[in-house]
Amino acid sequence: MVEVAQRVDASELESIIAHLENWIATKGSTVDILYSGRSTSARMARLVRNENERRQDKGLPGRILFLKLDDLEAFLLRWKGLPAEEAPVAALSKVFARVADCADDLSAARVFSEVLFPDWTEKQTALTAEAAERLASQQERLKKDIQRLENKLREKGITGPRGHKFLIYLFFMALYEDKRGKDTRATKAGFLSYREGLSNAAKNSQEFRDRTVHHLLSQEILEDVDVKSAGIATQYEPIDLPDDFVLKQVIPIFETYSFADAAIDAIGAVFEALARRAEKDNRIGQFFTPDAVVEATCRLAGLRPTDLVADPACGTGRFLIHAMSHMTAKATAVTGKTREQAIHHIKQHLLLGSDIDPWIAVIAKMNMYIHGDGKSNIRHANGLTLATVASFAPQRKGTLANALDMVLTNPPLGDIDFQSVADEVAKVEVGTADAAMIRRRAAEWSREAFAVVPHAIAEEQLRDKAAEKANEWRDKAAEAKAAGNTNKETAYRKRVDEWEKKRQEADKAIGAGKIQYLPSGHVAKGGALFLSAIVQCLKPVRDASLPIEWRGGVMGVDCH
């Protein structure tokens, strides 16, 4: 059944459902509706999606799919020009079988094109370009909406890290609810319904009275077994926002966008919006990497569905999210596994991320969860130590030394005190308070980990110094002898012997290989340190069929 309407508001859905039910009753069989109009609002797309989910859950026949009028016209003209055997009407059932992939009119058009006209590359290219243009526009509008919302929070005295956490958890709520699908509580109707359904004890409690969003997050969303087990709730602070503020300032933003297909990076948009205040009162800007840069890096890297991939400075998880998308798209190429098994393996085992900031690590888990899981292997850890420290236990045994097929990252480029990192590693490894042992091991480790940092051999330095000092005292002894000062000559000769002994001991240690390395300074550029640390984690051989210079693990780094 094809239904065309000029109205684009959500009220049109009621008549569509009524017509669908009537046709099903009349025909006595399954009837699907192809609904076409000028465009799909986020609210309409959400309602259509929820209705399809409701019908599936209840075992009701009939599915609804939306297509823009100009796309419908283009498809009908294309269909009309093809022989009947190449475009049977029955093929439409394959399109409706994929309603779950149709989050809006553009994604529906792409499904139509892929299923019915797989060779129509011009249309597919045009739809891809249109989707990219729309997404960029939506991201920009969302960033402006987030900035306006942050201004409203500032007016209420909610600023700095507290304000950032409010925004992140609020948008996680919206994303979680859109992912959840039907009966979303991130719309006005759903929020009011949830508030009305609260127990009298909750409604009247000091903690939750007129604070429904806090109840929804703390008692429902963050108590979700999957969410809780990932540690997403660990950084939550009570969102002390009255219901009127949420309904007037927050919910209208949520209703404007459809996050269902995870194309809109809401968490990333929050970070980029806050980055514009980076010189005022937050540290957010350092974690943001433009989406186009991330996508280009992942595409150029040549990801495979069997690669073990890591981002040692993962920030909000953008590189891992895009890597997950590239890898799952190739899941059918994995031998010995079904597509579903391969995708599950990718998400659970092949994507690793670490960040030194525990709050940012939680945000990366949120982002991975919203974009289809993979959150179980995000860690609060120092990315410079992954080749030495087993940061991903118990899911993964051992360190990442020579283990990774690919590293995709945007490392911090500022100065890093690598000596403090080395000291921390040494303290754990040595397991004693002996300062000399810790210093020795820290120096050894920094040399192993950071090839970019010059390290000198302490015994060579001592040998050269001893030789220089011995010569100085010889000259003084010669001067004393020439002056006839026997006492001074004897004293100076004694100092010569002392330094000669030190030189000989140093030479002996060098010959026996008992040497200690000392780093030059204690600070270096983060980019250089991370490149050095990453090399230790890459596989020596990732693909033996390639020329020798290309066989090892791959590093994709954004240093913009």
Block residue for tokens 């913009």? 560
Domain boundaries, the chain: 2-119, 134-287, 291-418+530-557, 460-512
Name the CATH superfamily housing domain 291-418+530-557: Vaccinia Virus protein VP39 (3.40.50.150)
Mean pLDDT confidence for 286-293:
70
- Average pLDDT over the chain reads 88
Mean pLDDT confidence for 6-23:
80
Q: 71-99 pLDDT, tens per residue?
A: 999 999 998 888 888 878 888 888 998 88
**What 3-state DSSP class applies to 62?**
coil
Mean pLDDT confidence for 288-312:
90
Stated length of the chain = 560
Handedness of CA 172, 178, 180, 185 (dihedral sign): positive
Cα dihedral 538, 543, 547, 553 in deg (nearest 10):
-10
pLDDT of residue 279: 41
Residue 393: pLDDT over 60? yes
Q: 350-373 pLDDT, tens per residue?
A: 999 999 999 889 989 998 888 877
Helix, strand, coil percentages (3-state) for the chain, rounded to 5, are 60, 10, 30
Q: 327-352 pLDDT, tens per residue?
A: 998 999 999 999 999 999 999 999 99
Least confident of 189-203, 323-337, 366-380, 452-466: 366-380
Q: 211-235 pLDDT, tens per residue?
A: 999 999 999 999 999 899 888 999 9
Residue 282 pLDDT class (50, 70, 90 cuts): very low
Mean pLDDT confidence for 251-265:
78
At residue 3, φ and ψ (nearest 5 deg) are: -130, 130
pLDDT of residue 137: 85
Give whole-number Cα distances, 101 to 8, 136, 149, in Å. Answer: 21, 20, 31
Distance CA 60, CA 202 (A): 36
Decide: pTM greater than 0.85.
Answer: no
Mean pLDDT confidence for 535-543:
95
CA 261-5-10 angle, to 5 degrees, is: 50
Handedness of CA 363, 369, 375, 376 (dihedral sign): positive
DSSP at 93: H
pLDDT of residue 154: 93
199: CB partners within 8 A, 6+ apart: none
Cβ distance 319 to 350 under 8 Å?
no
pLDDT of residue 404: 97
Distance CA 192, CA 361 (A): 32
Cβ distance 430 to 511 under 8 Å?
no
End-to-end CA distance of the chain: 52
- The percent of residues above 70 in pLDDT, for the chain, comes to 94
pLDDT of residue 459: 87
Cis-peptide, bond into residue 454, ω within 30° of zero: no
Cα dihedral 149, 152, 157, 160 in deg (nearest 10):
30
Distance CA 353, CA 517 (A): 31
pLDDT of residue 280: 40
DSSP at 207: T
Q: What is the DSSP string of 382-393?
A: -GGGTTTS-TTT
pLDDT of residue 285: 39
The closest of 225, 315, 195, 222 to 265, measured between CA atoms, is: 315
Give the residue, 269 or 355, on which the prediction is more confident.
Answer: 355
DSSP at 538: B
Distance CA 86, CA 512 (A): 80
Q: 19-68 pLDDT, tens per residue?
A: 899 989 988 778 899 988 887 777 788 888 888 888 888 889 999 998 98
Secondary structure E strands in 222-371: 309-311, 351-355
Give the residue, 85 or 477, on which the prediction is more confident.
Answer: 477
Cβ distance 282 to 308 under 8 Å?
no
Amino acid at 527: G
pLDDT of residue 155: 94
**Residue 310 CB-half CA count within 13 A:** 32
Cβ distance 411 to 386 under 8 Å?
no
